[in-house]
Structure 1
């Protein structure tokens, strides 16, 4: 069985190793060092990882992340490449479920911050795995959007979410939709059909978690 979480992790670490710790990423204000520290925190510091999603814990989580970011660059990369077997999100039972989307998105965060990037031709299995995760992303990102949003990946499926109103359709490959729904609209290649004002609002909305 293909291990897409592992292959995306390896590709991301290899790219960060090539670019160095100060290369930009799609995440505003974050370098590759910041991104690596985020990944180490997520996998190795469950006491602080809650700050990624929970505002009351955000300050503590960010202080821990900054301490991690101060580690030597080779150590940071090694810790990303080799997660501990006890990690709640990276053990053999959870790795594919928890990390395929995570490492695909962060791999693209580094790739698409560079001039001249092009979308990759993804394996059908990876596209299928990413599409499975788009439903959860869409429900989180668009649950309050004031329109019916139809998210379509030709050849993979369609889902709808939103609060009603003039419909908007977002069409793209599963990877592009995953990037769009995770708040990376400016670097995702999707087609949006619908009322111009709603389409523009969707492109500019804060969809990230």
Structure 2
């Protein structure tokens, strides 16, 4: 059997660009390297992406009484090839019959996922400094702002039971949460606001103002 063909998407997309960045980050560390995902090594994160790409049924199946043992065995089989093979499968992307090979679907499903997980690898490594974080494209920054405003910003306000205004110079401001809840303002670039809102506050560069 030949090696998986690297995924390029039908058209260039922010998600496909971030997939490449994520693969580069995973290849820069060892399998047991830490990540910002609590309890997950780089190997665990790579396997998560493989499952999400090609076997999403296993994400649910392992928790079901009737199919759980088979799903867990399938996961072990996916992991048995080793770390390099898992990263190669991340690079290869989803099967050609999956909807995320289409640019609009890929961008909607995966831009934030891949950006966040790339940073999960990079920012967890010893010696990482926020002042040396990677540069991202303006296109990606706009896409992050657009998608996070509808997802992670909403979830962060709900989880904290706060009314939160997310403000990013050049991109705007959006307020999420109950009108009667205490107000706070979080300032930063779209990507740093997204990391903060997704539960990675200790590793995000933002400024917070309490009302």
Q: Deviations over 1:64-96 (max 9, x none)?
A: 5455333322221111001122234x3224212
Paired residue for 2:108?
97
CA 1:56–1:191 in structure 2 vs 1: closer, same or farther (change >3 Å)? Answer: farther
Cross-structure match for 1:147: 162
Structure 2 equivalent of residue 133 of structure 1: 147
- What value does the CA root-mean-square deviation take over the aligned residues? 2.6
Assess if the C-alpha contact under 8 Å between 2:157 and 2:163 holds in 1: no
Aligned pair count reads 191
Q: How does the TM-score come out when normalised to structure 2?
A: 0.80
Q: CA deviation at 1:13?
A: 1.1
Do the aligned partners of 1:36 and 1:69 also contact (CA within 8 Å) in 2?
A: no
- What do the CA deviations read for 1:160-208 (whole angstroms, capped 9, x no partner)? 112223310011100001111111111011111006xxxxxxxxxxxxx
Q: The residue matched to 2:199 in structure 1 has which SS?
A: coil
Q: Which residues in structure 2 correspond to 1:98-117 (within 5 Å)?
A: 98-114=109-125, 115-117=127-129
Matched, 1:123 2:137: yes
Post-superposition shift, 1:142?
1.6
Gaps of 5+ in 1: 196-209
Q: Using CA pairs below 8 Å that are at least 6 residues apart, which structure has the higher relative contact order?
A: 2
Label 1:177 to 1:92 Cα distance change in 2 as closer, same or farther (>3 A): same
Deviation at 1:141?
2.5
Structure 1's 69 and 161: CA in aligned 2 closer, same or farther, altered over 3 A?
same
Q: Distance in 2 between matches of 1:56 and 1:168?
A: 40
- In structure 2, the residue corresponding to 1:165 is in which secondary structure? coil
Contact residue 108 and residue 147 of structure 2 kept, 8 A: no
Point out the structure with max Rg over C-alpha: 2
